[in-house]
Amino acid sequence: MNERFDPSRADSHWQRIWDERQCFRADDASDKPRSFVLEMFPYPSGRIHIGHVRNYTMGDVLARYKRMRGHEVLHPMGWDAFGMPAENAAMEKSVHPGGWTRENIANMKAQLKRLGFALDWSRELATCEPDYYGPEQSLFLDLYEADLVYRKESAVNWDPVDQTVLANEQVIDGRGWRSGALVEKRKLSQWFLKITDFADELLEGLDHLKGWPEKVRTMQENWIGKSQGLEFAFTLSDGSSLPVYSTRPDTIFGASFVAVAADHPVAQGIAATSPEALAFIEQCRAGGTTAAELETAEKLGFDTGLTATHPFSGALLPVYIANFVLMDYGTGAIMAVPGHDQRDFEFATKYGLPIMRVVAASAEEANKPFAGEAETGEGVLVNSDFLDGLGVAEAKAAVNARAQQEGWGSAKTQYRLRDWGVSRQRYWGTPIPFIHCEACGVVPVPKDQLPVVLPEDVDFATPGNPLLHHPTWRHVDCPKCGKAAERETDTLDTFVNSSWYFLRFASQPDDRPFDPAQIAKWLPVEQYIGGIEHAILHLLYARFWTRALARIGKVDVKEPFASLFTQGMVTHETYERTNPENGQPVYYSPAEVERTGDGATLTEDGQTVTVGRVIKMSKSKKNVVDPDEIVATYGADAIRWFMLSDSPPERDLPWSESGIEGCGRFVQRLWRIFGQYDASASGEDKPLDRKRDQTVAAVAEDIEALSFNKAVARIYELASAIEKAQPSASRSAAIKAILLLVAPMMPHIAEEAWQAMGDNEDGGLVSEAPWPEVDEALLVEDEVTIAVQVKGKLRDTITVAKGLPADELEALALASEKVQRSIDGAPIRKVIVVPDRLVNIVA
């Protein structure tokens, strides 16, 4: 063996061998147990970033490990290739989105290959290709036939200067990001998927997703937001009826005003005759639209002059237009109970409206004043007529019953979840396969005419959707009547693309989206790994899409991902100086900076730069490192090892230059250990045998739990034990074992050493070798070290045979000189003995 391991040669060598032998192709016909390991596929932005490397390394270790455990592993890769950045590039650099995207894919694929991932590239897919989005169109038509797709009016952000629809993120302070023009709300007829039909199913299904993090399930549960409440109508002073929804009907006697959303018909009606009301509504629309902005914004209202009659007391409650009421939830109108809802409390305080107590800790506290905030907890009803003395739950039931009985309201289950709007007024997406005919209306494209292919000859110089002003593409004959008609020019939300790609990975026939028999074999995905930012939307949409396909009999699986793991971000410290001219920070990249002990200097001028906080790597802060450069310097195994070391995978991983250097050193250290392998060595080293098998068993457990940092620590320990050992058959066995343990993590050096050891007669690869067997008997220690405490404080430790009875342990503990000194003659009151663990003497 050479003295040093040379990754620049070995990496590409083994990557080529794996390719040639098609080591990682999944066999659909295999009768082995199956493992579908999947990481969220990347958007082809152009370069792999460190976060991808972390994500794919974790999946790769699991995939390679499962293969060693005798599983048939499906570990595919593809490209989430539709989306806005390609169109932005087209506008900025005059390149075609398709060309730009495909070039990025080629670059990133080469980068992934250099990292040595065990991927089945034969199943590679890109969502921007007709062989992917064509089948998607066909599935969309299936859902349409099943009445799960419909059209309705919905508002979009319209940039009047760029003549284009903007995404929320393109609206900055109410203005278009490019034009700077004030954004208008425009109503368009758009396509929706009936995800709300599945609200209960999706909620219910969360209970069975045992392999999902609790926090993600909670987030989805809150997102779906099932609530039980009362929908009832107020009679207004103009004679009309105003339906409201409340989850706290028990507090109805505490209602002191009624509020409607700015977009509510009542508000619109008032605005028609009141310029002040109109101005107020405009003001509400101008403000921020996110929850955080709205919740922290000052509560504002406009008194409409109308009143609403309280259904029980007959009191006349003022009706306000309020900026904190949402048109999208419930009926867009509320009964406001300031005493028991914080938002209502703030509003009532501002506008001097009554704040009444209707829930109290006890009847005696019926008139206790409020301590500056609403009380939303449990209690008994007070000041509430026939409800007095009831608990909150009973009172809700009583009010609901009365409303039902008297015919002015009824109990209702409400969901926060809204239907999924999938229309995008953009070019670079899946064309929605419909045709608009003046005579026949909206007509689906017949399946034998799919795919509806995006035209390549498009013009980005003209503002707006290129599909709209393409000279010929839109114009088709109606499939029904044959007269001239027009294609739908909206494309599908890219979340549709990612809602079924895992199905296409499992099966990709030419003539249909997938073969259900293959889906049944591979799905659900055994382990899905990706960023927490997808906790709600992507994961909920994928769950919905799968369930929708199951409902219409296309697949036999309801939940696509059996286990989910959400990884942390990769972070790095920042380097900055303050620009003396404008006081703004100027950031420097790690490559421009030299780290010196506590501080850092800019290489260019040798002057110091401030070492800033450790934050998520981002281009704007320049605290990024390029995986390619790391691979070129240290090799793929070192960067993979770094991704797995130290930080638990669900937490953030701080990147550091010294950390990757340490990983590079460990690669060489391993190489020296491998070099000590001697197949002919003899002699037994029992403690090393035990350490070896304990490590093998523990690392297996750690990998299955995705606790890679712990597995890494154990491998370090075994490495140290091997280095301290004398040559023996045991040492050679331990070296072989550690090679197999690191093989899923550092496959290149593992292959190189496997070959160099030369006792794999058939010339097999370590990538095809089985995981080492463990002698269960060796795992059991025969000696244990026991803690001896006096009054809970450690005073001594004693090493004894494992399984020693309690009375003997107690005697040994009391015999300890240190213990006797600590007891100092005090009477012993109690002795707690935990066999094989500790003795605690209470004196």
8 A C-beta contact, residue 437 and residue 448 = no
Alpha helices in 115-213 (DSSP H): 130-145, 199-206
What angle, rounded to 10 degrees, do the helices at 199-206 and 214-224 form? 160
* Helix or strand run (H / E) with residue 9: helix 7-21
| 795 is an interface residue for RNA by CB under 7 A | yes
Distances (CA, A) of 292 to 287, 350, 417, 767: 12, 20, 18, 50
Interface with RNA in residues 203-242 (CB under 7 A): 214-215, 218-219, 222-223, 225, 227, 229
| 661 is an interface residue for RNA by CB under 7 A | yes
Give me 600's structure tokens.
Answer: 């850092």
Q: Using CB under 7 A as the criterion, what x/- string covers residues 299-338 for binding RNA?
A: x----------------------xxxxx-xxx-x-xxxx-
Options 24, 56, 234, 245; binder of RNA; rule CB under 7 A: 245
| 840 is an interface residue for RNA by CB under 7 A | yes
Handedness of CA 597, 603, 605, 611 (dihedral sign): negative
- We find the least distance from the C-beta atom of residue 68 to RNA, in angstroms, to be 22
Count how many Cα atoms sit within 13 Å of the Cα of residue 38 in the half-sphere of its side chain: 27
Q: Using CB under 7 A as the criterion, what x/- string covers residues 359-398 for binding RNA?
A: ----------------------------------------
8 A C-beta contact, residue 280 and residue 320 = no
CA-atom Rg of the chain in angstroms: 33
Comparison of 489 and 822: residue with beta carbon closer to RNA: 822
Residue 265: asked if its preceding bond is cis (omega within 30°), the reply is: no
Helix/strand/coil for 657: helix
- We find the least distance from the C-beta atom of residue 616 to RNA, in angstroms, to be 7
Burial of 773 (C-beta count, 10 Å sphere; 0-12/13-18/19+): exposed
Q: How far is CA 482 from the centre of its chain?
A: 47
Interface with RNA in residues 717-776 (CB under 7 A): 717, 720, 723-724
- We find the least distance from the C-beta atom of residue 439 to RNA, in angstroms, to be 36
C-beta atoms surrounding 362 within 10 Å? 10
- We find the least distance from the C-beta atom of residue 342 to RNA, in angstroms, to be 6
Options 86, 417, 753, 804; binder of RNA; rule CB under 7 A: 417
| 669 is an interface residue for RNA by CB under 7 A | yes
Q: Pick left, alpha or beta for residue 553 (phi over 0 → left; psi -120 to 50 → alpha; otherwise beta).
A: left
Options 468, 537, 602, 814; binder of RNA; rule CB under 7 A: 537
Q: What residues contact residue 312 under an 8 Å CB cut-off, 6+ apart?
A: 252, 253, 385
Stretch that binds RNA, among 5-13, 302-310, 433-441, 639-647 (CB under 7 A): 639-647
| 668 is an interface residue for RNA by CB under 7 A | yes
Interface with RNA in residues 597-626 (CB under 7 A): 597, 616
- We find the least distance from the C-beta atom of residue 302 to RNA, in angstroms, to be 13
Interface with RNA in residues 546-565 (CB under 7 A): none
- We find the least distance from the C-beta atom of residue 622 to RNA, in angstroms, to be 17
Options 498, 645, 732, 816; binder of RNA; rule CB under 7 A: 645
Comparison of 73 and 322: residue with beta carbon closer to RNA: 322
Stretch that binds RNA, among 14-22, 384-392, 532-540, 619-627 (CB under 7 A): 532-540
| 418 is an interface residue for RNA by CB under 7 A | yes
Nearest to 111 by CA among 13, 14, 15: 15
Stretch that binds RNA, among 199-207, 310-318, 711-719, 762-770 (CB under 7 A): 711-719
| 699 is an interface residue for RNA by CB under 7 A | no
- We find the least distance from the C-beta atom of residue 463 to RNA, in angstroms, to be 27
8 A C-beta contact, residue 85 and residue 426 = no
- We find the least distance from the C-beta atom of residue 836 to RNA, in angstroms, to be 8
* Helix or strand run (H / E) with residue 302: strand 301-309
| 532 is an interface residue for RNA by CB under 7 A | yes
Options 585, 818, 826, 828; binder of RNA; rule CB under 7 A: 818
Options 294, 476, 681, 725; binder of RNA; rule CB under 7 A: 294
